[in-house]
Amino acid sequence: MSEPVIHTEELTRTFGEFRAVDGISFSVGAGEVFGFLGANGAGKTTAMKMLTGLLLPTSGKATVAGFDVFSETESIKRNIGYMSQRFSLYDDLTARENIRFFGGIYGLSSSIIKEKSEALLSSLDLIAVADSRISDLPLGWKQKLAFSVALLHEPKIVFLDEPTGGVDPLTRRRFWDMIYEAADKGVTVFVTTHYMDEAEYCDRVSIMVNGRIAALDTPMAMKSSFGVTTMDELFIRLVRPTAGDGI
Amino acid sequence: MRVIGFLLQKEFLQIFRNKGMLPIIFIMPLIQLVILSNAATFDVRNVPFNLQDLDRTSLSENLSEQFTGSGYFQLTGESSTSSQALDVLVGRNADLVLVIPEGFEKELMRGGSAKVQLIINAEDGFSAGVIQGYTNDIITAFNRDLIPQLPGSAVAAPQPDIIVRSSAWYNPELVYVDYMVPGILVILVTLVGLFLSGMNVVREKEIGTIDQINVTPMRRYQFITGKLLPFWIIGLGELTLGLIIARVAFHVPMLGSYWLIYLVAGIYMLVVLGMGLLISTLTDSQQQAMFIAWFFMVIFTLMSGLFTAIESMPHWAQNMTLANPVRHFVDIMRRVMLKGSGIREIAVPLAILTADAALLITLAVNRYRKVSD
Amino acid sequence: MKEWSSFVGFVVKEFYHIFRDRRTAAILFGMPVIQLLLFGYAIRNEIQEVKIGIADLSRDAVSQAITDKLLSSGTFVLIKNLQSPAEIEGAFRSGAMSEAIVFEPASGKEIQREGSMDIQVITDGSDPNVSRIVTGYTASVVRDYLSEAATTIGAPKGVVPVPLMMFNPGLKSVYLFVPGLMALILMLVSALMTSISITREKESGTMEVLLVSSLRPIQIIVGKVVPYFLLSFINVVSILVIASLVFGVPCRGSVVLLMAESLLFIITALSLGMFISTITGSQQVAMMISLGGLLLPTILLSGFIFPVASMPLPLQVISNVIPAKWYLIIVRAIMLKGASFAVLWQETLVLAVMTVVLIGASLRNFSERLQ
């Protein structure tokens, strides 16, 4: 593996008595597509919030893009993109306005914003609806747009929190094409998902159970070491003993 | 600076795109200002009045004519018993019953004095006092003409007299509108500012866009400035429209300086917006934020001295109003507009507002965290 | 039957919403009580301490006697001994005092020689209300002084008025304002709660879930309103208890009638909230209308502080659409005047008609949305 761009050691976050994330350690290399799996409430979103600088860890160590998550959150933010599970562009603004806004607050110059937004809108086939409000777009398009916006400032790492929830398989497939395209350009992709077929698309996946990492490997190696044929089986095998509190 | 510019642009787009909100921000307050400013008056006029003349002599008729002809009272009916009189008061057909007892004229002519009863509806104690004042004026005038004709008036020595010459400065006609317009304007500007800012951040929390902002390298001060400035501008714009209405529609005098008003308003808006932002950062849902903003708004309004004088409150309540920014701004607006007070004369409330602004903005900035812990 | 049980389930869900969020529940129950307690004490009309300045340029027995009489009345507090009338302006502008009394030089001699003298009373007219009251007080103190000084016995007094202050002999403003506060608080809380609760459901998309359920529109609306009705009922009881125990406002009429009228008023307010929610799509707008649009009109046009009869005619006409105005008439009549339903049926009818119109309009808007 090349120099890791995300590295954690015993990273922990507690809320009162509850250990949402309980000492996780892993590394993600540059250009990797890293899948972050787990049942609802397993601690995925909490872990991701710590890595993106939205939430302060309780203990442990972690660096993102070489910066410390305790003390250098602002430097981290300059180097990452983020797309949250709840669709997070402004519904009452148009596609063009959203691009302009997020480009602007990342400090891109007006000419670059203009250039990028035209390229982006035409590659997403959104030119015709670029000036109508986002709320009028189908969900799949919104997600693709949100992903592109997260990549606008050319971050080293992009964090995607359940980016494809609620859309059809074909649209999801197209979304993953975009993820690969980004990874080919050297962007590290850190993605959480519920869909096991998507897990297969990742270079490596980790499965979180009750705040801990229960397994971490390439999908292929993981399946063979557990002696299962599909990721679904693997997931259920790992999660079942404690499934009661998750689902 | 550029980043703030982008944030401002976004906020303004969102505000002006919200078709449901626009009329509420701009039209509703101004309509209220125009309509309601005339409602706030303690003038007591056209008091409905019931006559119970049990004497039915020329003198009693003369007296009741003084009442009907005074312009203060409007005769709405006559009664002949005290239970009828009570019914009239309960049924809101009159606020005053003048009872002239039987033998009224005879007694006056024989003994030089006679009593009449004035039954006043005192539900509203203040109006009752005013009505009593009117009746005193009428009867005093009536007596002035009557007494020289009464027996025994010749022996009376001329009484010394003290004439109270009253004059009211700044508002000699005691026009309520001049007094109310600046105050109502303050309430409206506060309402709009507090609600827009109070709902804003918590709304982004509810719909999830706040995380998207928080993962960007935008700085705290940039975020807060970008959030405050649009509402600050809207608030001052609203004030400007209100001042124009005050001038053109109500002819409220402006003895002081507009610059001073805007200086104070600029600081005052920071207090209001800082408070709204603080509420917004402390709550989890728009609903909570609204209830809290509502709670304070009602208290601020009623405890501002806008409708009832601060001096009428008990001491502890008077002290409480010192913490009420609306009170200070209402006070300053009235003083500057109606009395032409300068900055030195409003230094104390202005200093309090400035301290409030600094405190609230600091708290709001500190409460807003890009990283939660 | 099945429909009924799903309706009950829906109402129970609404209760959960209210009580799950403790902060909101605390606000809904606590606020009316706190506000009534606070305002009941603070919103008064009696002027207690008039800050005055006296410029006594005469310095004789008469001016001294009148000054003593003014200051011993308890209403006036001497803030400043003015050396000259020129100091008045500054004191007014800084708000240090609200009245100045000027005794002209040698006025004591004047009254002996000519039988009359002038006193100048200058008030800060920027508050016309205080100005008027203060002038009246001062004049009455001077009148008292004169009548005490008058020595002639046996002179005719003419007509002597004997005032009888009905319903409120002490002329206490509490009696006036507490019922007004009841109307204001109940109106705002009730309208606010329903309008927000329904728009919230619209905004989060759960309204659609309700609409595709077996519940009929009327059931959804009633189900939304019932919990808030019960909640408001608790507020009514606590407010009436405070009015009577803490502020000593009498209830001379029937308590049952008062409760019944209060419930009718709550229903009117809840319907208004519901109506607001059917014409708006967002909580923000609903909030702005039910607070921004109701606060000042309810305070100003209901007769709560300013008598409706004093307003210009167009405003008196407009005031008729303010539900609180009618409730206020009813509450004051029952509590202070002991009025019976026979006197109040018209006002009651107005509230009832308003309620029916609001509910009808909401239902119509609501069903239109469905199509």
Residues B66 and B199 in one domain: no
Mean pLDDT of B38-67: 87
Percent of chain B predicted with pLDDT > 90: 28
Question: CB of A208 within 8 A of CB of A37?
Answer: yes
Vertex C106: Cα angle to C105 and C109 (nearest 5):
160
Domain encompassing residue B78: 47-152
Residues 203-232 of B with CB under 8 A from A: 207-209, 211-219
CB pairs under 8 A between B and C: 392
- For B164, the closest chain C residue by CA position comes to C119
Q: What are phi and psi of A3, to 5 degrees?
A: -50, 125
Question: CB of B213 within 8 A of CB of B271?
Answer: no
Point out the domain boundary residue: B152, B184, B209: B152
Residue B266 has pLDDT above 90, yes or no: yes
pLDDT band, very low/low/confident/very high, at C47 (cuts 50, 70, 90): confident
Q: What are phi and psi of B372, to 5 degrees?
A: -90, 155
Q: Contacts for C8-12 with beta carbons within 8 Å, 24 or more apart?
A: C10/C210, C10/C215, C10/C219, C10/C220, C10/C223, C11/C223, C11/C226, C11/C227
Residues B212 and B318 in one domain: yes
Task: Considering only the beta carbons, identify the residue of C301, C307, C315 that sits closest to B44.
Answer: C307
Q: Is residue B64 a part of any domain in this protein?
A: yes
Mean pLDDT of C176-184: 86
In DSSP terms, which residues pair with A83 in a beta bridge? Answer: A160
Question: CB of A133 within 8 A of CB of A183?
Answer: no
Residues B134 and B236 in one domain: no
Residue C342 has pLDDT above 90, yes or no: no
End-to-end CA distance of chain A: 35
Residues B96 and B190 in one domain: no
Q: Is residue B160 a part of any domain in this protein?
A: no
Task: Considering only the beta carbons, identify the residue of B116, B164, B288 that sits closest to C159.
Answer: B116
The predicted pLDDT at position B153 comes to 64
Write out the two tokens for B252.
Answer: 């409220």
Segment A21-49, tens digit of pLDDT: 999 999 999 889 999 988 878 888 889 88
Task: In whole angstroms, give the CA distance from residue B120 to residue B49.
Answer: 9
Write out the two tokens for C301.
Answer: 């046009």
Q: Which of B24, B70, B351 is nearest to B191 (CA)?
A: B24
The predicted pLDDT at position B87 comes to 86
Percent of chain B predicted with pLDDT > 70: 97
Q: How many domains does chain A have?
A: 1
Task: Considering only the beta carbons, identify the residue of B7, B370, B373 that sits closest to A105.
Answer: B7
Helices (H), B249-346: 258-282, 286-302, 315-321, 325-334
Can you give the CATH number for the domain in which B98 is found?
Answer: 3.40.1710.10
Residue B16's alpha-carbon distances to A92, A93, B5, B13, B347, in angstroms, are 10, 11, 16, 5, 37
Task: Considering only the beta carbons, identify the residue of B36, B113, B292 that sits closest to C160.
Answer: B113
pLDDT band, very low/low/confident/very high, at C368 (cuts 50, 70, 90): low
Average pLDDT score, chain A: 86
- For B328, the closest chain C residue by CA position comes to C95
Q: Which helix (H) or strand (E) holds A36?
A: strand A33-38
Subunits that touch chain B (at least 3 Cβ pairs < 8 angstroms)?
A: A, C
Q: Which helix (H) or strand (E) holds A213?
A: strand A212-217
C211 touching B, CB under 8 A? no
Q: Where are the domains of chain C?
A: 2-43+172-370, 50-148
Provide CB contacts within 8 A for B51, sequence distance 6+.
B64, B67, B75, B77, B78, B79, B97, B98, B100
Residue B224 has pLDDT above 90, yes or no: no
Q: How many CB atoms lie within 10 A of CB C208?
A: 11
Residue B242's alpha-carbon distances to B239, B250, C96, C209, in angstroms, are 5, 11, 28, 44
Whether B contacts A, i.e. 3 or more CB pairs less than 8 A apart, is yes
Helices (H), chain A: 44-51, 73-79, 95-105, 110-123, 139-151, 169-184, 196-201, 219-226, 231-239, 243-246
Question: CB of C117 within 8 A of CB of B113?
Answer: no
A78 touching B, CB under 8 A? yes
Are C158 and B143 in contact (CB < 8 Å)?
Answer: yes
The predicted pLDDT at position A245 comes to 44
Task: In whole angstroms, give the CA distance from residue A20 to residue A165.
Answer: 22
Domain encompassing residue A232: 4-44+56-246
| Alpha-carbon dihedral A199, A205, A209, A211, rounded to 10 degrees | -130
Distance from the Cα of C3 to chain B's closest Cα (Å) equals 30
C190 touching B, CB under 8 A? no
Question: CB of A77 within 8 A of CB of B216?
Answer: yes
The predicted pLDDT at position C156 comes to 63
Q: Is residue A50 a part of any domain in this protein?
A: no
- For B369, the closest chain A residue by CA position comes to A54
Question: CB of A38 within 8 A of CB of A207?
Answer: yes
Task: In whole angstroms, give the CA distance from residue C326 to residue C303.
Answer: 9
Among the residue ranges A2-16, A228-242, B1-15, B150-164, the one predicted with the least confidence is: B150-164
Task: Considering only the beta carbons, identify the residue of B10, B215, B218 that sits closest to A52.
Answer: B215
Residue C2 has pLDDT above 70, yes or no: no
Whether B contacts C, i.e. 3 or more CB pairs less than 8 A apart, is yes
Q: How many domains does chain B have?
A: 2
Residues found in chain A: 247
Task: Considering only the beta carbons, identify the residue of C24, C49, C162 that sits closest to B115.
Answer: C162
Q: How many CB atoms lie within 10 A of CB C134?
A: 25
Question: CB of C179 within 8 A of CB of C243?
Answer: yes
Tokens 């998507």: give the residue.
A198
Whether A contacts C, i.e. 3 or more CB pairs less than 8 A apart, is no
Q: Is residue A49 a part of any domain in this protein?
A: no
Q: Is residue A233 a part of any domain in this protein?
A: yes
CATH of C50-148, one of 3.40.1710.10, 3.30.70.60, 3.90.420.10, 3.40.190.10: 3.40.1710.10
The predicted pLDDT at position C210 comes to 72
Tokens 């608030």: give the residue.
B235
Q: How many CB atoms lie within 10 A of CB B110?
A: 12
Segment C197-218, tens digit of pLDDT: 788 877 777 777 776 666 777 7
Question: CB of B211 within 8 A of CB of B280?
Answer: no
The upper half-sphere exposure of residue C202, i.e. CA atoms within 13 Å in the direction of its Cβ, equals: 22
Write out the two tokens for C289.
Answer: 């209308």
The predicted pLDDT at position B246 comes to 92
Q: Is residue B324 a part of any domain in this protein?
A: yes
Residues B27 and B57 in one domain: no
Residue C170 has pLDDT above 80, yes or no: no
Q: What residues of A are in contact with residue B214 (Cβ under 8 Å)?
A: 53-54
Distance from the Cα of C216 to chain B's closest Cα (Å) equals 26
The predicted pLDDT at position A191 comes to 92
Percent of chain C predicted with pLDDT > 70: 94
pLDDT band, very low/low/confident/very high, at B20 (cuts 50, 70, 90): confident
Mean pLDDT of B28-41: 86
Segment A180-234, tens digit of pLDDT: 999 999 999 999 887 888 888 899 999 988 889 888 889 889 888 888 888 888 8
Residues B206 and B71 in one domain: no
**Three-state secondary-structure class, residue B113:** strand
Q: Which of A216, A210, A221 is nearest to A18 (CA)?
A: A210
A3 touching B, CB under 8 A? no
Task: In whole angstroms, give the CA distance from residue A34 to residue B138.
Answer: 94
Q: Is residue B165 a part of any domain in this protein?
A: no
Residues B142 and B217 in one domain: no
Can you give the CATH number for the domain in which A226 is found?
Answer: 3.40.50.300
Question: CB of B353 within 8 A of CB of B268?
Answer: yes
Give the strands of the sheet with A4-15, arranged side by side: A18-29, A4-15, A59-64, A67-68
Are B370 and A73 in contact (CB < 8 Å)?
Answer: yes
**Three-state secondary-structure class, residue A202:** coil
In DSSP terms, which residues pair with A191 in a beta bridge? Answer: A35, A160
Residues B308 and B197 in one domain: yes
Mean pLDDT of C90-100: 84
Question: CB of C158 within 8 A of CB of B167?
Answer: no
Task: In whole angstroms, give the CA distance from residue B367 to residue B289.
Answer: 15
Are A104 and B212 in contact (CB < 8 Å)?
Answer: no
Segment B208-220, tens digit of pLDDT: 888 888 888 888 8
The predicted pLDDT at position A2 comes to 58
Are C339 and B90 in contact (CB < 8 Å)?
Answer: yes
Task: Considering only the beta carbons, identify the residue of B14, B212, B370 that sits closest to A93.
Answer: B14
Residues B121 and B217 in one domain: no
Distance from the Cα of B9 to chain C's closest Cα (Å) equals 21
DSSP string, C93-123: HTTS-SEEEEEPTTHHHHHHHHSEEEEEEEE
Residues B114 and B189 in one domain: no
Write out the two tokens for C340.
Answer: 């019976």
Among the residue ranges A78-82, B86-90, C111-115, the one predicted with the least confidence is: C111-115
Mean pLDDT of C233-261: 89
Are B5 and A92 in contact (CB < 8 Å)?
Answer: no
Q: Which of A157, A198, A162, A187 is nearest to A62 (CA)?
A: A157
Are B170 and C343 in contact (CB < 8 Å)?
Answer: no
Task: In whole angstroms, give the CA distance from residue C360 to residue C363.
Answer: 5
The predicted pLDDT at position C319 comes to 92
Q: How many CB atoms lie within 10 A of CB B91?
A: 14
pLDDT band, very low/low/confident/very high, at C154 (cuts 50, 70, 90): low
Are B6 and A100 in contact (CB < 8 Å)?
Answer: yes
pTM of the model: 0.84
Q: What residues of B are in contact with residue C135 (Cβ under 8 Å)?
A: 164, 166, 168
Percent of chain C predicted with pLDDT > 90: 12
Point out the domain boundary residue: B91, B117, B152: B152
Residues B58 and B138 in one domain: yes
Among the residue ranges B65-69, C48-52, C97-101, the one predicted with the least confidence is: C48-52
Residues B191 and B279 in one domain: yes
Residue A242 has pLDDT above 70, yes or no: no
Task: Considering only the beta carbons, identify the residue of A78, A90, A159 that sits closest to B217.
Answer: A78
A15 touching B, CB under 8 A? no
Average pLDDT score, chain B: 87
The upper half-sphere exposure of residue C312, i.e. CA atoms within 13 Å in the direction of its Cβ, equals: 10
**Which letter does DSSP use for residue C66 in this model?**
H
